[in-house]
Copies of this chain bind each other. A is one copy, B any other.
């Protein structure tokens, strides 16, 4: 317990979290501090590329086993399942319309890659190893939740979803999924020697760039919170805090079931607990235009993301450690 407290405190006072807090505070105080769109996108391309390569190299190094296939399927199942739980909870806990509830639920079934990156930074700092292919699991979990949400809508008839084949290609070929999977493949092919050539770029500055990126996310989250005061409160707010705990519990069970390591289980919890704010928002705008994007985004980025960053990650790690031993 004490160790967990220390870990939480350490985590809270890490440059990564403090950078996010700085951004959040600056935006709430209405500072004009802002990152150009191109710089934010550039940082996210860098992070996806670097994390993909690292994952692929880890797989290349440790050899490959059936576990990868099982983990991918397990991740996809989690991503497809969580929206149903989320949707049911939202219908009970909040007054959101069917469309809005389905859109929010899709975000929570999918994953937030920055939360994943922050968690793997914490694991690295603690010297806890994890399966390199968790990056591929993250990529595999991006899309199934969208399918579930669209199916929910079509069943409930809550205002026709605009699906179609086009949409599916778009989701599967979403830039962030392609970059993550592609970089993973590159890492796998080039292996440790290939990575050594570009290590000074993809490893050394990684954490620093993550800080700046989280500073920007803090700014965007703060701006979102400021503008949608009122829409996210009461039941909706509570959902943003409870849903990650439910997701993490499911992730824990599945991780134990398929026999992931301590690090891998923690990351699966983090993935299940996190909510998307890149791939799913775009897909929802296309498929469910009637859903209010501000609700999902504020909840995912303004509530669940900071919750996971500050409390969630150390909590999930502590629970996993208590069960799996360290």
Which residues of chain A have a CB within 8 Å of any CB of chain B?
13-15, 18-19, 22, 25-26, 29-39, 41-42, 45-46, 49, 53, 125, 169-170, 173-176, 178-179, 182-183, 185-186, 189-190, 194-195, 197-202, 204-209, 211-212, 215
Contacts and interface: CB of A to CB of B under 8 A. Distances in A.
B197 A207 contact: yes
Closest 10 CB pairs of A and B: A201-B208, A33-B175, A200-B204, A36-B38, A38-B38, A198-B208, A31-B173, A39-B42, A201-B205, A22-B182
Contacts of A174: 31-32
A222 B202 CA distance: 25
B19 A186 contact: yes
A152 B319 CA distance: 63
Contacts of A209: 201
Contact of A207 (B53, B178, B201): B201
Nearest to A190: B15
Contacts of A22: 178-179, 182-183, 185-186
A304 B29 CA distance: 33
Nearest to A191: B13
Contacts of A41: 35-36, 39
A38 B30 CA distance: 21
Contacts of A26: 173, 175, 178-179, 182
Contacts of A42: 35-36, 38-39, 42
Nearest to A216: B45
Contacts of A31: 173-175, 178
A94 B206 CA distance: 49
A208 B173 CA distance: 24
A15 B175 contact: no
B173 A30 contact: yes
Contacts of A36: 37-38, 41-42
A14 B169 CA distance: 29
Nearest to A173: B31
Nearest to A33: B175
Given A15-B186, A190-B15, A125 B30 contact: no
B35 A194 contact: no
Contacts of A35: 41-42, 45
B173 A29 contact: yes
A189 B13 contact: yes
Contacts of A169: 30
Tell which of A26, A175, A182, A199 has the most Cβ of chain B within 10 Å. Answer: A182
Nearest to A209: B201
A182 B28 CA distance: 14
Contacts of A38: 36-39, 42
B39 A178 contact: no
